[in-house]
Amino acid sequence: MSSLADVDTHVREVLNIVNNPLASRRASDSVAQSWTRCLTEFHLDPGRFVMPPVLTQRELTERREAASDLIACSKLEMTTLYQQLADPELAVVLVDSDGVIVHQVSSVPFGEAVAADGLRVGALWSEREAGTNGMGTCLIERDCIAVCQHEHFYPRYTSLTCSAAPIFDERGGVVGVLDVTSRSKLLQQHSLVLVGMSRQMIENRLIDARYRHANMIHFHSRPEFVGTLHAGKLAVSDEGIVLAASRSALFQLDLRSPAELCGKRIEEAFNATLEDMIARSIRGSFHPVTVYSAKANSRFFLTAQTPREAANSGTRILMNDSRAKPSRKETRDTAGQGRLDKLSHLEFGDPRMASQIQLAARVIQRKIPIILRGQTGTGKEVFANALHSISPNGSGAFVAVNCASLPENLIESELFGYRAGAFTGAQREGRRGKIVQANGGTLFLDEIGDMPLTLQARLLRVLEEHEVTPLGAETTVKVDFQLISASHRNLIELVQNGMFREDLYYRLNGIEINLPPLRERADALALIGHILETECEDPPTLSAEARQALLNYPWPGNIRQLRHVLQMAIALCDGPEIRCAHLPPEILNGASARAMSATPSPQPAPLAHLTDDAQMSALNAIQVKERETVLLLLDEHRWNVSNVAKVLGISRNTLYRKMHRLHIRLSHDSSAPNDA
């Protein structure tokens, strides 16, 4: 509060609301009830502020150990949420079931500022200790709640706005609260929605962590929602007993509590056995299959998967006849999760990256050509090599050719090889080309957009006829390989400009996988930790300032640049901690400029679609971030509104309204394709 007069005004307001039933209408029911509890049950005085108690280090360690699975499942979602909100004046806070702060994500200046008010790891923010506040009141209400500024009990906290959501375990108990505390009243409505979504992710992660030996069923009444946050999630034992159910699952099945389902057979929920659902999911390549509820005869779509341990061991029988041997396809698909495990080093929680990995892992099994699209340094060759390792050609060679780094007169001989004496300077014994070397393995053509047109025709013929003729030779060599191409350029634009053959493009483009730039990845912090661990046996930690500088920097060189920076920092670090002094000046300068920018992560593509300054200035930070996300999806789907609406799980009309609200003009480019 700014003055004693403001403090007195707030105290009188609290007392008036509690003591006068008519005045209580000026406050929400939850706030009025909370103020009443604080005065009558906890005997708190709004005019006498008492700092929340703080646990000793030993007590905090014990508390964090008791909540270790909750913290582990929450860390990534908290970091992602902090990056989504993109406001340095906020903290993402996790408390346990008693209101003790066990983890917190914030900028260093804001963290230090609110620590002076008692908002810090180890502090107890129950309603009994801190009065009406997002975390403590949420624990009592067991529901999402926003406590805005003067709704706090103590005047000390009336500059803060809290948005909190309870985290439930699989049995319906509250195990903690996820909260966003900020100084911005504007963020309240948006942050409460995002907090609720992040809470759902944490609850699903808790089920995965606690029931990793169980079979997982994801279901929804609409097939497009299977695999999303809206889907229900069930953990089922090998005997067909339901062990855990997400709140979304209870909602889908019209149940009020987990006790109505947990401990019962899966057939009491659906008209199919566990073995039948798993077998059908495998036969359908894990596309949603149809089942009906056991009681109401409602239709659902689901996928059922065996646990990772069983998938890796290959010991389970998935057919209805337990004595039957699994088919070749079932054996291959049972190990599908094991294949994904081999790709785990490619992402650490970024949802876009995870979806692209799952898509690529599926199509690589059918030897479909893949194009990797991404900026320089996003790890296209690493991604391609990882795909090769899980492909049917994984036992063969992985042969990489960078079409941009080789002189034009050498690309042909590199790719197709030559016979002995084919030209002056040729090796006496001739040379096998890269295509022949990749026979039985994988050919990776990096920067395929830079391949000369004359060679594009020869490559097309190889792909169509599965044979190659070396330079100077008269006989052909039969070849069979998995093809993966990559480019940072837009191949469709190259085709339209006559710089790339259209027939070759459609031969290469079985499917396109898009790798997001580092600045857009939600798992940047986890990726930094992974690189540090791979670079040295005993990796140093990051100081809070260095960590924030790395997260704020836009990384034009992406993961390649990040790795070089961390390698240098490790070399310069003379202790257990990397500090700002160990980072290059351009990192610190770029991070500062980005942190001070009005828009958190300006992208070249979205900037091309800005309307005017007046319209953009009317958008808040959340809307700016949402606008960039919608623009990115529109660009990825070539401004096909129908396809983007499907990805977002909304109708076209809803998307049109969202675009209008975010000042996105559909007529951004006269050459853009029409919506189908």
> Is 498 a residue whose pLDDT tops 90?
no
Amino acid at 670: S
Mark whether 235 and 363 lie in a shared domain: no
Q: What is the pLDDT of residue 126?
A: 95
CA angle 311, 312, 315 (to 5 degrees): 70
Over residues 146-183, the pLDDT tens digits come to: 999 889 999 999 999 999 999 999 888 999 999 999 98
Mark whether 439 and 523 lie in a shared domain: no
Amino acid at 185: K
Q: What is the pLDDT of residue 618?
A: 61
The token duo for 100 is: 């003790």
Mark whether 221 and 311 lie in a shared domain: yes
Q: Are 226 and 302 in contact (CB under 8 A)?
A: yes
Over residues 197-218, the pLDDT tens digits come to: 889 889 999 998 899 889 999 9
Mark whether 503 and 357 lie in a shared domain: yes
The mean pLDDT of 400-416, rounded to a whole number, is: 77
Q: 419 — phi, psi (to 5°)?
A: -85, 165
Domain total for the chain?
Answer: 5
The token duo for 442 is: 């994988």
Q: Of 596, 618, 636, at which residue does a domain stop?
A: 596
Amino acid at 359: L
Q: Are 386 and 347 in contact (CB under 8 A)?
A: no
Q: What is the CATH number of the domain that holds 305?
A: 3.30.450
The residue among 611 and 7 whose pLDDT is bigger is 7
- Least confident range of 112-116, 221-225, 386-390, 500-504: 221-225
228 has which bridge partners?
none
Which residues touch 201 (CB under 8 Å, ≥6 apart)? 77, 229
Mark whether 460 and 570 lie in a shared domain: no
Mark whether 402 and 503 lie in a shared domain: yes
Q: What is the CATH number of the domain that holds 647?
A: 1.10.10
Rg of the chain (C-alpha set): 29
Using a 10 angstrom Cβ sphere, with 0-12 exposed, 13-18 middle and 19 or more buried, the burial of residue 76 is buried
Q: What is the CATH number of the domain that holds 526?
A: 1.10.8.60
Q: Of 485, 513, 541, at which residue does a domain stop?
A: 513
* SS3 state at 293: strand
Mark whether 492 and 358 lie in a shared domain: yes
Using a 10 angstrom Cβ sphere, with 0-12 exposed, 13-18 middle and 19 or more buried, the burial of residue 425 is exposed
Whole domain around residue 496: which residue ranges?
A: 343-513
The residue among 361 and 613 whose pLDDT is bigger is 361
Question: Cα separation of 553 and 565, whole Å?
Answer: 12
> Is 532 a residue whose pLDDT tops 80?
yes
Mark whether 364 and 299 lie in a shared domain: no
Whole-angstrom CA distances from 591 to 487, 530, 547, 643 are: 28, 21, 11, 35
Question: Cα separation of 122 and 119, whole Å?
Answer: 9
* SS3 state at 662: coil
Amino acid at 269: A
Question: Cα separation of 434 and 398, whole Å?
Answer: 10
Would 199 be classed as within a structural domain? Answer: no
Mark whether 222 and 96 lie in a shared domain: no
Please tell me the pTM assigned to this model. 0.49
Mark whether 497 and 535 lie in a shared domain: no
Mark whether 444 and 473 lie in a shared domain: yes
Would 498 be classed as within a structural domain? Answer: yes
Q: What is the pLDDT of residue 320?
A: 34
Q: What is the pLDDT of residue 666?
A: 58
Q: What is the pLDDT of residue 419?
A: 65
Other beta carbons within 10 Å of 57: 9
Q: Where are the alpha helices (DSSP H) in 230-318?
A: 247-252, 274-283, 308-313
Would 676 be classed as within a structural domain? Answer: no
Mark whether 494 and 636 lie in a shared domain: no
> Is 265 a residue whose pLDDT tops 90?
yes
Would 574 be classed as within a structural domain? Answer: yes
Q: Of 268, 301, 333, at which residue does a domain stop?
A: 333
The residue among 85 and 549 whose pLDDT is bigger is 549
Would 379 be classed as within a structural domain? Answer: yes
The mean pLDDT of 223-252, rounded to a whole number, is: 89
> Is 323 a residue whose pLDDT tops 80?
no
pLDDT band at residue 334 under the 50/70/90 scheme:
very low
Over residues 458-489, the pLDDT tens digits come to: 888 888 888 888 876 667 889 999 999 999 98
The mean pLDDT of 94-112, rounded to a whole number, is: 92
Q: What is the pLDDT of residue 332?
A: 43
Q: What is the pLDDT of residue 523?
A: 86
Amino acid at 204: N
Over residues 54-78, the pLDDT tens digits come to: 999 999 999 999 999 999 999 888 8
The token duo for 583 is: 């980072």
The half-sphere exposure of 446 on its side-chain side, counting CA atoms within 13 A, is 20
Q: What is the CATH number of the domain that holds 477?
A: 3.40.50.300
Whole-angstrom CA distances from 309 to 190, 212, 214, 305, 346 are: 39, 8, 9, 12, 21
Q: What is the pLDDT of residue 181?
A: 94
Would 173 be classed as within a structural domain? Answer: no
Would 39 be classed as within a structural domain? Answer: no
Q: What is the pLDDT of residue 420?
A: 56
| Average pLDDT of the chain, as a whole number | 81
Long-range contacts, 60-67 (Cβ 8 Å, 24+):
60/100, 60/102, 60/121, 60/122, 63/96, 63/100, 63/102, 64/102, 66/96, 67/96, 67/102, 67/175, 67/176
pLDDT band at residue 339 under the 50/70/90 scheme:
low
Which residues touch 612 (CB under 8 Å, ≥6 apart)? none
Question: Cα separation of 390 and 342, whole Å?
Answer: 7
Question: Cα separation of 578 and 593, whole Å?
Answer: 21
Would 183 be classed as within a structural domain? Answer: no
